[in-house]
A and B are shown apart, each in its own frame.
Chain A
Amino acid sequence: MELVMAILIGVLFTAAVYLILSRSLLKIIIGTGLLSHGAHLLILTMGGLGGLAPPVISKSVTDFADPLPQALILTAIVISFGVTAFMLVMAYRAYAVHKTDDMNQLKGNDEHD
């Protein structure tokens, strides 16, 4: 299963990077969304996927999933939400001020070096 997941993560990252490199601000935000999904799955896969039960202590279970990646991912999900929300509003604001979402036009000019 890890092999499948690894390839899946690669696809997520590829799509994310491709979108981030584009010129449209909205695409870049969608790209960062995909990137965080990829990163979450990457952390989970690195830890191993073999657990038979959720990481909750109970008498009958001995082999449960690794809790550490899950704890890290939980934090990451919330942070990535914060980042996405921030970027969305920033995009809205940038478009309202500059009337464009083309990154090449938003780059500034020599006077602002």
Chain B
Amino acid sequence: MEFVLLIFLPIVAALFIPFLFRKIKGIHTGWFVLLVPVVLFIYYTTFIKTTMEGGHAISELQWIPTLGISFVSYLDGLSILFSLLITGIGALVVLYSIFYLNRNKEKLGNFYVYLLLFMSAMLGVVQSDNVISLYLFWELTSISSFLLIGYWFTRDGSRFGALKSMMVTVFGGLMMLGGFILLGIMGGTFSIRELIAGSSSFAGHEFFTLALVLILLGAFTKSAQFPFYIWLPDAMEAPTPVSAYLHSATMVKAGLYLVARFTPIFAVSEVWIWLVTGIGLLTLFWGSLFAVKQTDLKAILAFSTVSQLGLIMSLLGAGAITFHVDEALFSFAMFAAIFHLINHATFKGSLFMIAGIVDHETGTRDIRKLGGLMSIMPVSFTVAFIGSMSMAGLPPFNGFLSKEMFLQSMLAIRHFELFNFATWGIIFPVVAWVASVFTFIYSFYFVFRTFTGKRKVGKLPLEPHEAPVGMLISPVILAMLVVGIFFIPNVVGKWLVKPAVMAIQPYQYSHPSEVDVHVSAWHGFASVELWMTAGIILIGGLLYLSLSKWQKFYRIQPESLSLNGLYDATMTFSEKGMNRISRLYMTGLIRTYLLYIFAFFSITTIAMLFLQDAFVVDMSSFSKINAYGLINAVILLLAVAFVLLSKTRLGAIISLGAVGYSVALFFVIFKAPDLALTQLVIETVSVALFLLAFQRLPKLSDHGETKSNKLVNAIIALGVGLTVTLVALSSHSQKLVASISQYYKDTVETEAGGGNIVNVILVDYRGFDTLFEIAVLAIAGIGVLGMIKLRLARKESSDENK
């Protein structure tokens, strides 16, 4: 089967959703939607067997073959891992949303269409082998994320957050497109596989670093890295199932996917390793530091997501070191990155769902109003506890394992000799440790401030109680995974992580089993990581207990000096500035626009005539001056002068008629009897029409047009007149190709059996033209009739803006 088509399965399913939502009232629409990710998940698991052996599967659908653009589904260890995450978490989130979103109150038709659209887009991102189609899907995820954040579009916050995420991620997407095109120029192909295979040939290319930075901009904006993370906290306005799905488990990991996918191409570069590791670590630190400041449950989780994404990013950067040094010391990093990516999806997904449950059952997410929910919501508390402890990096949860590996990798960086890492390397474990302390604090802050302590019953909008069973299924499954993975890390490693690592480091491994990493919880008392973890627990615990004493220091930073302030200022400035600039030339007056058109027309035409030496006057080709023609020309000039100078409507109309009749005379003089006849008839009717209409029109007036405006009009008009004269002369004097008239002349009798060539051309050779001409007349006629017949009264109510 062509499994590339499966990428589009969710979109196809989305077509039926509005119909199902309207017609089938008894069943929650989510149950139908649930089928899609479940089927896809089961289908994609069948590929694990292939990828475990280091194999891959390809399915291709041509799109624009002449440009080398196609939809290619390339399933290797990395793609399969992401596809399983997207469909697996997707299924859980849809299940959760069935109980979260009320069938009768919410516009489920919209919601699930957006969600399925996102699913297709995300699958496309992680499976595409062609960078152009990857870019297409990438932007589609931004758009569906925009729609989902703005789902409650009547709220100001939703619209603001949606726009913010759109601005930041689409900016990054466009940068990334630039990077892709540069890659295409350097490598001569848009296929990622072929680019990787040929990467050694263009590593020294002048565009190499530029392409690298542009692609990283795309990854950093999407994965909410510093300083682009600002959109993610505002994206929390989305319904909680969306936050759990897009903004923690899948979409924000697209940037990580991109970095992982392009590591084989760019790992050779010093800039890549520094940027990915450095920005990742900075984001880790920054996110964890500010997570403690938040008071909204989802905001805490948003900053924690930012921070954890930074952690994985820095591991990907550290993993790229293996390209330079083949030592076991560094081989941990890539494994740790992928492993933590899975772990993060499990524990953060469950935590988001719990935040949603708390919101749903108590009516608030403000941590200052919450407390003491443990006895009322025991299951939720257990799940939240498991998730938070995993996030804090404590055993026996999966976060502990990947956190240990992370610390190990950061410690290893000290031993990397190249690119000044030996000098600066000590910073990495230190920052990682400090960030881990804050991670510990916000994890405790999240779970214990919500579920323990005194109950503040009066402050809650709703009477709290445990969530319905259906809503708890998904977070409980995820929490079970959190615990389960701790006990079978090496199975997960063998099935999912190692094939993915092999896909990222093809230069190092040819089979997943060569990835020589064995995860164990206990490394003995001599290991530095153990003592670092002990320090985290000790210092973190002390700081958590004294949180109320130092949390207020966060308020020192003024809002206007933050990155959000910068974003707001930029947006306001560009909106107002652009508005001002466009108002300068978009006056709303038709004269202004016509001036632009006419001026542009004459300037470019005259410039081209002289730049290309196209202006030629060939006197010898001119026909003789005709006395009648000359007299007629004088008449026409006089008539035009009368039109211009006439003070009355009647005078102008009659002079216009005179112009028309003298044009008809020209047709007679230049041997065009058909034209002359038509022109005479039409001109007569036109004048009659003018005379009919003019009674109902106001007197001729220039409405107080200023002298200078008239002067400008005259100059532009003269320019146009001059241009047309020059064009007329040179086009008569030189013909690049022979006229097709000769063909008509030769064949008119034999092919069409007619003598009057003009008539035969109109009704025979160009019969369709004439037919459409009649259609145009008919449309004009209908328009005329409509405007005369329609009543005037309805103009008030038809204005949409009122």
A residues near B (Cβ < 8 Å) are: 1-27, 30, 33-34, 37-38, 40-42, 44-58, 64-68, 70-71, 73-75, 77-79, 81-86, 88-93, 95-97, 100-104, 107-108, 111-112
Contacts and interface: CB of A to CB of B under 8 A. Distances in A.
Interface residues of B, number: 98
Which 5 pairs across A and B sit closest by C-beta, in order of nearness?
Answer: A14-B721, A10-B725, A67-B757, A50-B623, A18-B717
A91 to B, nearest CB: 6
Given A46-B728, A57-B757, A88 B744 contact: no
A55 B717 CA distance: 35
A23 B703 CA distance: 7
B758 A67 contact: yes
26 contacts: A1-B623, A1-B629, A2-B621, A5-B629, A6-B732, A19-B644, A25-B697, A26-B700, A30-B652, A33-B656, A34-B659, A40-B663, A44-B670, A47-B732, A49-B623, A55-B758, A58-B755, A64-B671, A67-B758, A68-B739, A79-B777, A83-B780, A89-B788, A90-B783, A100-B698, A103-B590
Contact of B787 (A14, A89, A111): A89
A31 B49 CA distance: 77
Interface of B: 587-591, 594-595, 598, 619, 621-626, 629-630, 633, 636-637, 640, 643-644, 649, 652-653, 656, 659-660, 663, 666-667, 670-675, 678-679, 682, 685-686, 689-690, 693-694, 696-698, 700-703, 705, 713-714, 716-718, 720-722, 724-725, 727-729, 731-732, 739-741, 744-745, 748-749, 755-758, 761-762, 766, 769-770, 773, 776-777, 780-781, 783-784, 787-788, 792, 795, 801
A56 to B, nearest CB: 5
Which of B589, B621, B689, B761 has the largest number of chain A CB atoms within 10 A?
Answer: B761
A19 B700 CA distance: 12
Main secondary structure of the interface of B (DSSP, over half): helix
B780 A65 contact: no
B672 A65 contact: yes
Given A57-B757, A58-B755, A74 B675 contact: yes
Contacts of B623: 1-2, 48-50
Contact of B758 (A27, A40, A58, A74): A74
A90 B787 contact: yes
B672 A26 contact: no
B660 to A, nearest CB: 7
Contacts of A2: 621-623, 728-729, 732
B725 A66 contact: no
Given A79-B777, A93-B787, A95-B697, 9 more contacts: A11-B721, A27-B652, A30-B643, A54-B672, A71-B762, A82-B780, A91-B693, A92-B787, A104-B703
A50 B656 CA distance: 28
Contacts of A58: 755
Contacts of A46: 728, 731-732
A96 B695 CA distance: 12
A111 B801 contact: yes
Contact of B700 (A27, A51, A70, A102): A27
B643 A55 contact: no
Contacts of B713: 17-18, 21-22
A6 B621 CA distance: 14
Nearest to B624: A1
A9 B728 contact: yes
A17 B644 CA distance: 11
Contacts of B702: 22-24
A97 B795 contact: yes
B640 A15 contact: yes
A81 to B, nearest CB: 5
Contacts of A103: 589-591
B784 A86 contact: yes
Nearest to A50: B623
B671 A1 contact: no
Contacts of B773: 75, 78-79
Given A18-B717, A24-B700, A66-B741, A9 B725 contact: yes
A85 B787 contact: no
A90 B686 CA distance: 15
B717 A15 contact: yes
B678 A77 contact: yes
B764 to A, nearest CB: 11
Nearest to B618: A2
Which of A12, A67, A85 has the largest number of chain B CB atoms within 10 A?
Answer: A67
Nearest to A106: B590
B672 A44 contact: yes
Nearest to B685: A81
A30 to B, nearest CB: 5
B197 to A, nearest CB: 53
A34 B732 contact: no
